[in-house]
Amino acid sequence: MVAPKTEFTNNPLSKIKDHEANWVSLVPFAFMGEGQTSLGYEKSWQWWGETRKGIRKSARLAKSSGLKVMLKPQVYVPGSWIGSVDFETTEEWLQWETSYRTYLMSMVELAVEEGIEMICIGTEIQNSMEKRERFWREMIQDIRQQYEGLLVYSANWDSYKDVPVWDALDFIGISAYFPLSKSETPSQRELLRKWRPIINRLDLYSKRTQKPILFTEFGYLSVDGCAYRAWELEKKVHQLDLNELAQANAIDALFMAHWNQGYWAGGFLWKWFPNMKGHEGYPEKDYTPQGKEAAAVLKRWYARD
């Protein structure tokens, strides 16, 4: 659920429950500039829904709507990507780790207080995860000492095999934006064919690690060609034609491919706008299924649970 700029005047999470979902992901963003070694959080300019106060109320509203919560702290680097953040010296890494740990542990404290069921300890922090294993293991151990819920990390779709700490977590978490088809409107049949080799790899990896796989993010823009390299489509979304069917087919095929796979624990759809607030100005083409053909597809699959 995208954090709103201002406080809720109603409970928009009931609309998520109406689609037969049983979990919601809440994302309290922190921010850092490229090359900086510290994070900014709880700033006066931040949206209400990203703050501790906003997350706390959102979690309570989720629970009152019958939804479980994954708390997903996430770092936004304007003009860049957290996965590419790197430092040359140990001192710089230690400074960044101190700042990140303070941010994350404040979220752990909130999760304990509110009885939040799952925490994602990081999202696509690629270089840190690959180079600084000890930091992550020690932090996971400290979290376990005070938090009894589920823990996951969200690896990018192309780097989940490079995460060394899956054994310390409850799930293998993947941002599942696997490039599938360049077709403008790929059919479910075509997409299923593209999913098969990926399914085989995921199944083998799950068995090897003895961990279920959770799609910590999945989703498709409602535009032509939405099932291929979403991060590139975002940059030219205004030039692309609206295509609700392409989005609906892609979501349908994802569930067809994974629903009966023993390794699959489910997934969190990116994204949902509470009261249609918080979008960048093009919700008709954005990842949300709200008011689109994909909404019926989503509800049909979730109702099977």
Domain 1-170 has CATH 3.20.20.80: yes
pLDDT at 278: 86
The predicted-structure confidence for 12-69, as pLDDT tens digits, reads as follows: 999 999 999 999 999 999 999 999 999 999 999 999 999 999 999 999 999 999 999 9
Average pLDDT value for the chain: 97
The predicted-structure confidence for 151-208, as pLDDT tens digits, reads as follows: 999 999 999 999 999 999 999 999 999 999 999 999 999 999 999 999 999 999 999 9
Distance between CA atoms of residues 75 and 120, nearest Å? 12
Distance between CA atoms of residues 37 and 47, nearest Å? 23
pLDDT at 280: 85
Radius of gyration of the chain, Cα coordinates, nearest whole angstrom: 19
E strand segments, 4-89: 23-26, 29-31, 68-71, 74-76
Overall average pLDDT of the 249-270 stretch:
98
Contacts of residue 49, defined as CB under 8 A and 6 or more positions apart, other chains included, come to: 2, 3, 4, 5, 55, 58, 274, 278
Is the pLDDT at 305 greater than 80, yes or no? no
Distance between CA atoms of residues 136 and 131, nearest Å? 10
Omega within 30 of 0 (cis) for the link into 235 = no
Distance between CA atoms of residues 172 and 202, nearest Å? 10
Distance between CA atoms of residues 297 and 277, nearest Å? 23
Identify whether the C-beta of residue 148 lies closer than 8 Å to the C-beta of residue 114. Answer: no
Q: How far apart are the first and last CA of the chain?
A: 21
Q: Where are the domains of the chain?
A: 1-170, 184-211+221-266+283-305
Local structure of 223: helix, strand or coil: strand
The predicted-structure confidence for 95-147, as pLDDT tens digits, reads as follows: 999 999 999 999 999 999 999 999 999 999 999 999 999 999 999 999 999 99
- DSSP letter, residue 241: P
Identify whether the C-beta of residue 240 lies closer than 8 Å to the C-beta of residue 282. Answer: no
Contacts of residue 148, defined as CB under 8 A and 6 or more positions apart, other chains included, come to: none
pLDDT at 91: 98
- DSSP letter, residue 84: G
